[in-house]
Amino acid sequence: MAEQKPKTIAVNRKARHDYQVFETFEAGIVLTGGEIKSVRNGRVQLRDGYAIIQNGEAWLENVHISPYEQAARDNPSPIRRRKLLLHRREINRLIGKTQEKGLTLIPMEVYLSRGRAKVKLALARGRRQYDKRRAIAEREMRLEVERARKKSLGFG
């Protein structure tokens, strides 16, 4: 049987602009029944989200999952704290990296893999305003060089 491609639900577009990403991890999310239905409907917002490690467990904070309208009851708070499922060795490694180097964990995207909700976490450091401007200038220069190259080859 062919391997199914994960279905992307939400992407944190500003993350690559606001943070310098070093490494990414995949983690499962513990959700209630109404929440997973809401995730499948694409009702997730990652903009202000982040992950923390507390008491040896990983938690996803400030990620908004809209309440599922058809749920009769048990609709928890949309921005409640959600537990992340990571291996112990991954958690121990992340504890060391986030404490010593001033790095943070941010959610990059939420997707469904074989029916289960997963989040791609990035180990990142926040960019300062001048770093953001420099990154934009470098990207525009690369685009300009690419355009000039295509034009010289007769594609433009």
> What are the b/e assignments for 8-44, b being 16+ CB within 10 Å?
ebbbbeebeeebeeeeebebebebbebbbebbeeebb
- Higher pLDDT pick, 44 / 1: 44
Query: Dihedral, CA atoms, 95, 96, 102, 103, nearest 10 degrees?
Result: -60
Rounded Cα distance between 46 and 77, Å, is 15
Look up residue 117 and give its amino acid: A
Give this prediction's pTM.
0.78
Dihedral of CA 113/108/13/21: which sign? negative
Q: Residues 80-136: pLDDT tens digits?
A: 999 999 999 999 999 988 887 778 999 999 999 998 999 999 999 887 777 778 888
**What integer pLDDT is reported at residue 136 of this predicted model?**
83
**What integer pLDDT is reported at residue 130 of this predicted model?**
72
What CATH number should be reported for the domain whose range is 7-127? 2.40.280.10
Dihedral of CA 48/53/58/59: which sign? negative
Task: pLDDT band for 2, please (50, 70, 90 cuts).
Answer: low
